Structure 1
């Protein structure tokens, strides 16, 4: 495999799919991470493709127990004193210098919750069905030391059990939602429909600063997030675009998000509600016009 690995992403859906060919995993609010066990050591890759080994040294040390040639997909998480998964602690670690990260690790060590295997010492396993990759992952992790911070994500093929997890583990443990994965699917980068997710999320108000597409039928909105970033929303439904279009007053210039996406800025004040849980990775879902 070539560095960096392209990762699979889950599509947001309003409810979990039904059927016998789905497996359901708890979705944790952590830091997406690819763990590479190379012949020379361990490298950790963020969702963006950056090398983040220096700030997750405790997980890199743990990764040395994996056999060389292993590449895993998972989530780095940190638990708080009350036993909940704390995204703020993960965010603080990810934004730290290596020296500060080591201090934070001594206070609150991280865990790596693995949910897929991309490569094993035998070779690339991404083309194999999820059910086979899951079994291989469990077999691999069973050989690690008992006190390892590398663990497999909880999963079930029973939809009712998954819904119980969704309804009961959010407040007590900070579980963010559930990801459903088609058991027959290979590991493919991007959003393919093989991974679907429902998540606990509230709506927040956000200002519209621009749009893409035509003013009379905008394709997506440029949204100013609470932390000041500007990000493009997911594609608007036809009905929502029709309601928003009359409120947009385009300016005669181009602007760009921090990620480099171009959009047409607008004048005036337009406010929409967005799903709060979709803003952390600057992938914004607009639900209504305010």
Structure 2
């Protein structure tokens, strides 16, 4: 593969309105788990989370489907699990956290879909320097013969259609729009894209806590689109009290980075049952997740 690994993914800056003028493409922003899918020149498939961690064993169904990709291909996209006509983020997190043995079972009971939104390499050629418009055309052409579970996300240059998506798609679990310049290159590690979300609040999966599980100081969260654990801001007294009856017993320890503190050790919770909380994220330079309530 011509790309250095792990691949640094492109990021998006939050905005409060669609940009004016032409030259933009609009895509639905799925509430899932960010994933880079690579098939190298020797035919091996590697699935990489946004953090750079290899998660191939957690998604055997997607790894099997990615074997169909031409050698020397790399895609960027989002893993989603559909349940009752909408995206189920808790199910996605179960898939992402599964052991190899458990992953085989979940691939049958909670099958994953991969919504590809960018082409990073094709036939061993690094495509990241190409304009989005060309990358998009090549992505659609590449995936057209195959269909689910590998498919390209919808995309439009029609601002009115994008606004219609923004207003009507939340019922399916789509949380907003990602906006890209048609002439823009793929810039890994840079917030060159824009994202418009309906709300600063969204669901997150609790993967651990700091302090006692009966009276935690903060929660460790898995947020949509990222498998890297995030430490919340200190819990309010009400949320801390609610945690006592909501958190299962820990199964081990983990390490996560807390804003302004650094690495902290936390009590790791089991992947099942899934515990969901509603979080509010600020957009300051040091973004934090504030836990609003347990679901």
TM-score by length of 2: 0.71
What's the CA shift for 1:83?
A: 0.9
> What SS is found at the alignment partner of 2:103?
helix
- 2:178 maps to 179
Distance 1:56 1:34, change over 3 A: same
Q: Is 1:200–1:277's contact at 8 Å kept on the other side of the alignment?
A: no
Q: Does 1:170 align with 2:170?
A: yes
**Residue deviations 1:216-274 (CA, integer Å, cap 9, x gap):** xxxxxxx9457595358xxxxxxxxxxxxxxxxxxxxxxxx92265449xxxxxxxxx9
What's the CA shift for 1:66?
A: 0.4
What's the CA shift for 1:160?
A: 1.1
| Runs of at least 5 residues in structure 2 that lack an aligned partner in the other structure | 203-216, 222-228, 234-254, 263-277, 291-295
Q: Is 1:182–1:195's contact at 8 Å kept on the other side of the alignment?
A: yes
Q: Is 2:115–2:151's contact at 8 Å kept on the other side of the alignment?
A: yes
What's the CA shift for 1:277?
A: 5.8
RMSD: 2.8
Q: Is 1:114–1:153's contact at 8 Å kept on the other side of the alignment?
A: yes
- 1:41 maps to 44
Q: Does 1:230 align with 2:234?
A: no
> What SS is found at the alignment partner of 1:119?
strand
Bigger radius of gyration among the two: 1
- 1:245 maps to none
Counterpart Cα distance in 1 of 2:201 and 2:169? 20
What's the CA shift for 1:46?
A: 0.3
Q: Does 1:89 align with 2:88?
A: no
Counterpart Cα distance in 1 of 2:261 and 2:36? 32
What's the CA shift for 1:37?
A: 0.7
- 2:103 maps to 101
Q: Does 1:26 align with 2:24?
A: no
Counterpart Cα distance in 1 of 2:256 and 2:36? 24
Counterpart Cα distance in 2 of 1:59 and 1:285? 30
Counterpart Cα distance in 2 of 1:116 and 1:229? 26
TM-score by length of 1: 0.72
> What SS is found at the alignment partner of 1:128?
coil
What's the CA shift for 1:159?
A: 1.1
- 2:280 maps to 276
**51, 54, 78: which one aligns with 2:81:** 78
Q: Does 1:201 align with 2:199?
A: yes
What's the CA shift for 1:122?
A: 4.9
Distance 1:275 1:21, change over 3 A: farther
Counterpart Cα distance in 1 of 2:22 and 2:57? 42
What's the CA shift for 1:276?
A: 2.3
